[in-house]
Structure 1
């Protein structure tokens, strides 16, 4: 899959193509269905499948004080798009200047001249161009002018409790409902980061943890979770090494027993104290919420609870 950050990077004659437009934050099952649709249409027509997306999220530019927290990093979005089979993704740097384009300018420069759009797939509620003036009707009208077909699709999937939307994923994660988020995402929620030095308190308690820094992705609510620690760098070097994916108990919170104030994400790899993970990039996968964060009266009850957390995590992850 090719990735471009400017129209000038798109190879001459890349099209014709089937194109869709969106933020795709979380790359949930609804996004997957739409992108799968454009891949199918493109393959049937013998053309390319392309997504147009934006970084940063438009809301972060127009309404930074109320912009939603991103579920996935751009890198993770692109990885997931590649798995679906897209031929290319055009990632526009979203600025106020970019947002000032009229719907006609955006369609003409990007979709027609840049990508050679033969078909454009959008939702019924699509908005594009300056002040979101472009609508589905606008796109159909421009399709007639430029010679591309417009395919309008309804929102897909979900139920009353778990709509397939980025908003639903954020709501679930903010409540610690990682299982609910997974139903919408079609996979377990993941965070990416680099293992950094902590205060070594976990090691002193008999549970050495990998502390995550530089976190990319939405951190779930404070609590303890069963999950997995993935080591992509090791997987690149030795894909069959059993240490590429390890079962873990993951803690999110401020360590209230020790009057902590800094919110941390740390993972204890079950039954392992021999791993050297500092400065390694890892991915944490959240499988199930075990309990909320609790303040304990001393270390002994905390250690007892940690043993119970590990036992429950092991049971879940080996089921």
Structure 2
């Protein structure tokens, strides 16, 4: 899959079927739109192109309201590659773009650079300065400049609710990662560099990888069963993990962290490594226990539950003296 990051990188001499959107999270609705673009392109014998934006428009127009992304740009690109998209144009969302009139956007991006023969969008598609253009506006310009427009109607879940990024955000705020995975079509995840923490878990027999995950959507505080995924050569290694999200109230923590304990492992030295943490199921909320012994007893149960959910070999807390990471 080709990736272009400026108008100048786009060849400008091709003909293509184009889809446009932020695609934050690449949920089931986004997948339907992108999939339709790929299908239409193959039928017509042209390459499929997804035009997306970075940074997210909301973070530009409302800088005082930080937006945590459901998926990083890299995850979006991976999802588009899996969907079969031939090329992605990651357009810089700056005044040079969002101050364009709807017609100038169509001419500059879709006609002159991407050579659109067809544009595939969702029902709620808006474009141009102040979001003044809609699907009907796009159709008018399509007739004028010689491209077709296909609109993918709102896709609904079995419950009757429309797939949406806002729905994913609601579910993640509740810690309902199972339902969020149904909306997304995959398990929620965060990516980050493993950094040094307080190392309390190591002393208790639960060494953890602490992730720096600023700017990404993290589920509600609690303990989750999931996977720690690391790159190993040209493949990936999936390690079963109990994941803690929160501020560690048992030890008067103040900052919110994401920590993953890989079941039964004492030898993992992940500091400085970029890893992914995948959330499969919430086990319980973050709790304050009467004693550290009560906490440890619960954590033992968390490990057993994690192994059962993931189909992994059960594990207990490890011997702190055998933990070699960071030594």
Same fold (TM over 0.5): yes
Q: What is the SS of the residue equivalent to 2:112?
A: helix
Bigger Cα displacement from structure 2, 295-304 vs 199-208? 295-304
CA distance in 1, matches of 2:221, 2:164: 23
Other-structure match for 2:207? 208
TM-score by structure 1 length?
A: 0.94
Aligned pairs (5 A) from 1:7-46: 7-13=7-13, 15-46=14-45
> 1:94 is matched with which residue?
93
**What CA deviation, in whole Å up to 9, does each residue of 1:271-319 have, x standing for no partner?**
1111111111110000000000001222111110110110111111118
- Per the alignment, residue 306 of structure 1 pairs with 299
State the alpha-carbon separation in 1 of the partners of residues 148 and 66 from structure 2. 33
Unaligned stretches of 5+ in structure 2? 313-327
- Contact in 2 for aligned 1:61/1:96 (Cα 8 Å): no
Q: Return 5+ residue gaps in structure 1 as ranges.
A: none
State the 4+ residue runs in structure 1 displaced beyond 6 angstroms.
Answer: none
Deviations 1:23-53, CA, capped at 9 Å, x for gaps: 0000111111111111111011110101111
1:272 and 2:261 correspond: no
RMSD across aligned positions (CA): 1.5
Task: Give, in whole Å, the separation in 1 of the partners of 2:179 and 2:33.
Answer: 21
Alignment partners' CA distance in 2, 1:163 and 1:196:
38
Separation (CA, whole Å) in 2 of partners of 1:66 and 1:208: 34
The 8 Å contact of residues 67 and 215 in structure 2, kept in 1 or not, is answered as no
- In structure 2, do the counterparts of structure 1 residues 272 and 260 end up closer, same or farther at CA, with 3 Å as the change threshold? same
Offset of residue 215 of structure 1: 4.5
TM-score, normalising length: structure 2: 0.92
Contact 2:33-2:122 at 8 Å conserved across structures: no
Give the alignment partner of residue 263 of structure 1, picking from 248, 256, 271. 256
CA distance in 2, matches of 1:85, 1:281: 26
Q: Measure the CA separation in 1 of the matches of 2:124 and 2:81.
A: 26
Is the CA contact (8 Å cut-off) linking 1:169 and 1:185 kept in structure 2?
yes
**How far off its partner does 1:69 sit?**
2.5
Q: Deviations over 1:114-158 (max 9, x none)?
A: 000000111232211011111112111100110001111211131
Residue matched to 2:50: 51
2 CA distance for matches of 1:27 and 1:235? 27
2:275 to 269, 274, 282: 282
2:289 is matched with: 296
Q: Greater shift after overlay, 151-160 or 125-134?
A: 151-160
Deviation for aligned residue 1:205: 0.5
Are the aligned partners of 1:192 and 1:216 in contact in 2 as well (CA < 8 Å)?
no
Q: How far is the alpha carbon of 1:161 from its aligned partner?
A: 7.2
